[in-house]
A and B are shown apart, each in its own frame.
Chain A
Amino acid sequence: MALTKLDQLYRAVILDHSKHPRKQGVLDKATAQIELKNPTCGDVIQVQLAIEDNMIKDVRFDGSGCTISMSSASMMTEAILGKSIDEALMLADEFSGVVQGKEAVHQKELGDAMMLSGVSKFPARIKCATLSWKALEKALETDGTGVDGQLKHD
Chain B
Amino acid sequence: MTVPYEELKKDFKILDQHVNDEPLVYLDNAATTQKPDAVLKAVEAYYNTSNANVHRGVHTLAERATTQFEGAREKVRRFINAPETAEVLFTRGTTTSLNWLAQSLGDLVVKPGDEIVISFMEHHSNIIPWQQLAKRKGAILKYIELTDEGMLDWNDLENKITDKTKIVSLTHVSNVLGVVNPIRKIADYVHGKGGLLVVDGAQAVPHMPVDVQELDADFYAFSGHKMMAPTGIGVLYGKRQWLDQMEPVEYGGEMIDFVELLDSTWKELPWKFEAGTPNIAGAIGLGAAIDYLENVGMSEIMDHEQNLVAYLMPKLEEIEGLTIFGPHKTEDRTGVIAFNIDGVHPHDVATAMDMEGVAVRAGHHCAQPLMNYLNQPATARASFYLYNTLADADKFVEALKATKEFFLHGLD
The answer to whether A and B assemble together is yes
Most buried by B among A2, A12, A68: A2
Tally chain B residues at the interface, Cβ within 8 Å.
26
Q: Given the complex of chains A and B, what is the CA–CA distance between A148 and B350 in angstroms?
A: 33
Asked whether A43 and B357 contact (CB < 8 A) given A3-B352, A3-B402, A66-B347, the answer is no
**Do A6 and B345 touch (CB < 8 A)?**
no
Interface string of B344-370 (1 = CB under 8 A from A): 111110011001110000111000100
**Do B402 and A128 touch (CB < 8 A)?**
no
Residues of A contacting B4 in the complex (Cβ-Cβ under 8 angstroms): none
A124-150 interface (Cβ within 8 A of B): 124-125, 128
Residues of A contacting B393 in the complex (Cβ-Cβ under 8 angstroms): none
Majority SS at the chain A contact face:
helix
Binding site for A on B (CB under 8 A): 20-22, 344-348, 351-352, 355-357, 362-364, 368, 371, 377-378, 402-403, 406-407, 410-411
Binding site for B on A (CB under 8 A): 1-7, 9-10, 12, 15, 40-44, 64-68, 122, 124-125, 128
**Do A2 and B377 touch (CB < 8 A)?**
no
**Do B345 and A67 touch (CB < 8 A)?**
yes
Residues of A contacting B351 in the complex (Cβ-Cβ under 8 angstroms): 6, 9, 122, 124-125
Q: Given the complex of chains A and B, what is the CA–CA distance between A122 and B348 in angstroms?
A: 11
**Do A6 and B362 touch (CB < 8 A)?**
no
Residues of B contacting A128 in the complex (Cβ-Cβ under 8 angstroms): 347
Chain A residue at smallest Cβ distance from B356: A2
Residues of A contacting B346 in the complex (Cβ-Cβ under 8 angstroms): 66
Query: Which 8 residue pairs spanning A and B have beta carbons closest together?
Result: A66-B345, A66-B347, A42-B377, A42-B378, A2-B355, A67-B348, A2-B22, A66-B348
Q: Given the complex of chains A and B, what is the CA–CA distance between A124 and B411 in angstroms?
A: 23
Residues of A contacting B402 in the complex (Cβ-Cβ under 8 angstroms): 1, 3
Most buried by A among B346, B348, B377, B378: B348
- Cross-chain contact of B356 among A3, A10, A124 (Cβ < 8 A): A3
CB distance from A102 to the nearest CB of B (A): 22
Chain A residue at smallest Cβ distance from B371: A42
Residues of B contacting A125 in the complex (Cβ-Cβ under 8 angstroms): 347, 351
Asked whether A4 and B411 contact (CB < 8 A) given A9-B351, A44-B377, the answer is yes
Residues of A contacting B371 in the complex (Cβ-Cβ under 8 angstroms): 42
CB distance from B176 to the nearest CB of A (A): 13
Residues of A contacting B364 in the complex (Cβ-Cβ under 8 angstroms): 41-42
CB distance from A74 to the nearest CB of B (A): 14
Residues of B contacting A40 in the complex (Cβ-Cβ under 8 angstroms): 363
CB distance from B20 to the nearest CB of A (A): 6
Residues of B contacting A12 in the complex (Cβ-Cβ under 8 angstroms): 410
15 contacts across the A-B interface (CB closer than 8 A): A1-B402, A2-B22, A3-B406, A6-B352, A7-B411, A10-B406, A12-B410, A15-B407, A41-B347, A44-B377, A66-B347, A66-B348, A67-B344, A125-B347, A125-B351
Q: Given the complex of chains A and B, what is the CA–CA distance between A44 and B377 in angstroms?
A: 9
CB distance from A146 to the nearest CB of B (A): 28
Asked whether A68 and B355 contact (CB < 8 A) given A2-B22, A3-B406, A42-B377, the answer is no
Q: Given the complex of chains A and B, what is the CA–CA distance between A99 and B371 in angstroms?
A: 29
Residues of A contacting B403 in the complex (Cβ-Cβ under 8 angstroms): 3
Residues of A contacting B347 in the complex (Cβ-Cβ under 8 angstroms): 41, 65-66, 68, 125, 128
For the A-B complex with A42-B363, A124-B351 known, give 9 more contacts whose Cβ atoms are closer than 8 Å.
Answer: A7-B411, A10-B406, A15-B407, A15-B410, A40-B363, A41-B364, A42-B364, A42-B371, A122-B351
